[in-house]
Each structure stands twice: as C-alpha cells, then as structure tokens.
Amino acid sequence: MALGILGGGLTGLSLARCYGGDCEVLEKDSVCGGLCRTVEKNGYTYDCGGHIIFSKDKEILDLMAALLGDNKVRYRRNNRIWFKERFVKYPFENDLAALPKEDTYDCLYQFLTRDYPEPKNFNEWCYHRFGKGIAERYLIPYSEKIWNIQAEKMGLEWVGGRIPDPPLEDVLKSALGIETEGYTHQLHFYYPRRGGIEALVHAIGADVKNIETNFHVRKVKRRNGAWIVSDGKRERRYDRIVSTIPIPDLIDALDDVPGGVREAVQGLRYNSLICVMIASRSEKPSDKFAVYFPQRELKFHRVCFYDYFGESCVPPKRSSAVAEITVNKGDGTFEMSDGELVEHVIRGLEKEGFIRRSDVCETDVIRRRYAYVVNDLNYSRSLKVIHDFARENGIVLCGRFSEWKYLNMDTCIRSAMDVAQKLKGEK
C-alpha cells in the first residue's frame, strides 16, 4: 500500500480523507477519535475535555460545518471566570467592571502604568502585557493550573494568537462597564446536535475505507526500501508513512535512534488530563458552557456544563458538570483514586455554590495520558532535534502530539490537508 497513517485521531482521519484511495489508518483503540472521543453513558453525553468548533481559517470552519450537515447548532459564547464569588466574562480583561471596585481600579491602574522589560518567559510576559493586577489575579494562577508548571518555566513560542491580546480601548471600556468582546474568532461556535464532538470525527472518517482499529503500533522499520509497521502480531508494508501518534510512542517503535534524539524526547514535557463528571438533579439548564476557576485550592481549572447543549447531552431535568484537572505522574493528584477526585470536585463545586451534594445522581472519571503539549524553556531546542531526525529518515510528522504543537482541531485538519497535498504531488 502507498501510505500508512499511524494513529486514527482527527488528524489521521483527516489525512486519509484528503489523500484518498491507497492508504490505511492504524489505530490502537477500538474506536477512532483520540482526544475527540465522546463518552455516552447512562443518558449523559460529554467530551474528554470541553471541545467546541471554531476557527480563524474560514475554509476549514466551512468544511467542519459542511461535514456535520444538519447535525450542528451555532452558539454564542457565554463563558465566565469565577472570581471572588461572581462571574466575570471571558476573557477577564474584557469585563473588569464586573470585579469588586478595588480590583477594577488596581487592574486598570497597573495595566496603564506597566513598564516591564522585554519578557523572556511566560511569567514576565503576563506582567509585561497585562500589568500586575490582571497577571496576579487571574492570568498567572489560572495558567499555572492548566499548564501544571510555574509560569517562569514556560517559554513564549505558543503565546501569539493563543492568549487574547486586547487593545487599550477595550480594556478602558471594560473597566467602565462598556460592552466589549475579546477573542472574537471564538465568539460564535458550533457543537454537534447529537453525538458530542466525536460526531465530527465520524463525519470526517465516513469515506475512509481502510481503518484498522485495535492495531497498537509497536515496531516501525525499513526493509527493502519499504516501511514495515507491526503491532507485534501483524505486519503491514507501506511505501510511505505519516505518524500522527505521540512522538515518544513513535521513537519507542524505531530501532537505532541516536542517543541525542532519545534524550530530546525524554526532555519533552506534556500534561495529562482527568475529567470528572458530576451529574445533578436540576430544574433549569446552565446558560454557560464553560466556567474557569483560577482559585489555587481547587484542583480543577475549568468546568463544562453539558446541560447547556440540552437534552441531547443530559436526561430531562438533569445537569452534568465536567471538571477538567491537569495532572502529571508523580504530582499527587495524578495518583488520586477516582473516588477521591469525585469527592474533591463535589466538595469544591458545592463550596462555590454550583451544586448541592444531595442532588448528585451520577459520577464518572476519565483519564487521558496525552492532553497538552507544554512549551517549557527547552521546547524549541528538543523539538528541532526530533523533527530533523524524522525528516532525515523520511517520516512525516502531523498532528498535535506528533508535531508536538498546541494544535486545535482546525489546525490539525489544515496540517493534514497540507501533508496530503504534498504527498499526492510526490506520487
């Protein structure tokens, strides 16, 4: 076969769809989708980390919308940050008037008078860009929760376009209580009417003919000018391969990897994710999909309310809150049992006034090993060594944990389309 695609997440399936014909997808799980998998259990539908469909890339946004056809609803963002027992619109700097007066004053004053040298790490960047008030109240504590690393240990490669960058006028207006919106390419978004975010993956993969699930790629080698890919029992032969699986898995599967490359892979930092679902009896659905929690004493950084999407995601008169907790092996939270995690989330949400323990009627916990690429200070150096090695050996890397970049669904699809075009041109 001409092309072997390692991994059947959104990137692998998008690549197969665009390449067409003579290719095969190898996926280790029994169902494709990777990070875009959806849990459907006892009448509750929720994703492994809140996913919404948006993009600055109009062609890709139109493609995702067209693939979903009628199975989509367009929403206007109504996310909030929970700060000192009140809701503040997301992004924080676009709703300073919602803070207690002293906080509004301090955030605005520090924003207007900030004077910090060119930043060298993310911590310095927060002060430099937003001033002490916003940096210390929200941006740094929230970021340190989601990234599970101190802000001064993070680099800056990922910041552009990722963190809202409001003009001075917006911050002034927001402090005076004049409506402004930040991060406008996310202001409206789509979500599938049925089937959660996984519905998008199935729509993308609908025309892909050759998908081998339960195929865990364990060995990848060159033999007589071809690529041989094996799961230990079965072998496949391809002219070319594209890897969309996490870099550490790919490197483990290869023989004769130079020590410097293995060292670079060991230096790559990533975060895992635990999602804790708490269902409650409720009379009315949430008017917010996501709420962000910068409070350091709460382990979860974000909670998504799936009753926002109506009865396709929850049974009648029920709500579901899915709390996201970023973890790393050895940090103590990673090691907590499901029961301990559920207890922490119930206690936290009850204390903050979001749920009542007596209303809880269902719970669930799911864990994802690879969730976030972390841009620490070694990021660019390590990645260059690995990407050079892959290029020199004719392995194309594509996707979130293969390129090892903070890619969203839209940029994964774009990357897959670009790779497919290039490979077709080389046929």
- Judge contact between 164 and 51, C-beta under 8 A: no
- Judge contact between 79 and 186, C-beta under 8 A: no
Residue range at the interface with ligand FAD (CB under 6 A); choices 26-34, 99-107, 137-145, 152-160 = 26-34
Rule CB under 6 A: is residue 51 a binding residue for ligand FAD?
yes
- Judge contact between 110 and 132, C-beta under 8 A: yes
Distance CA 151, CA 139 (A): 10
Rule CB under 6 A: is residue 205 a binding residue for ligand FAD?
no
Q: Which is nearer to ligand FAD, 99 or 416 (CB)?
A: 416
Segment 312-341, which members bind ligand FAD (CB under 6 A)?
324
How many positions of this chain bind ligand FAD (CB under 6 A)? 37
Phi and psi at 214, nearest 5°, equal 55, 30
For the chain, give the number of residues. 427
Q: Which is nearer to ligand FAD, 107 or 407 (CB)?
A: 407
Q: Which is nearer to ligand FAD, 110 or 243 (CB)?
A: 243
Q: Which is nearer to ligand FAD, 14 or 110 (CB)?
A: 14
Instruction: Fill in the DSSP letter of residue 404.
Output: I
Distance CA 360, CA 366 (A): 18
Instruction: Identify the residue among 5, 126, 217, 355 touching ligand FAD (CB under 6 A).
Output: 217
Rule CB under 6 A: is residue 49 a binding residue for ligand FAD?
yes
Extract the tokens encoding 281. 């009896």
Extract the tokens encoding 197. 């975010």
Planar angle of CA 296, 298, 302, nearest 5 degrees: 100
- Judge contact between 137 and 59, C-beta under 8 A: no
Extract the tokens encoding 59. 């062609």
Extract the tokens encoding 191. 């979500």
Rule CB under 6 A: is residue 216 a binding residue for ligand FAD?
yes
Instruction: Identify the residue among 16, 24, 34, 110 touching ligand FAD (CB under 6 A).
Output: 34
Site string for ligand FAD, 346-385 (x = CB under 6 A): ------------------------xxx-------------
Distance CA 48, CA 397 (A): 24
Min separation Cβ 197 and ligand FAD, Å? 8
Distance CA 132, CA 126 (A): 8
Rule CB under 6 A: is residue 106 a binding residue for ligand FAD?
no
Rule CB under 6 A: is residue 249 a binding residue for ligand FAD?
yes
Structure-token match 């070694």, residue found: 378
Q: Which is nearer to ligand FAD, 175 or 200 (CB)?
A: 200
Instruction: Identify the residue among 3, 5, 10, 99 touching ligand FAD (CB under 6 A).
Output: 10
Min separation Cβ 95 and ligand FAD, Å? 21
Rule CB under 6 A: is residue 301 a binding residue for ligand FAD?
no
Q: Which of 168, 9, 193 is nearest to 94 (CA)?
A: 168
Rule CB under 6 A: is residue 27 a binding residue for ligand FAD?
yes
Note the residues at the interface with ligand FAD (CB under 6 A). 6-12, 26-29, 34-36, 49-52, 216-217, 244-246, 249, 273, 324, 370-372, 399-401, 407-410, 412
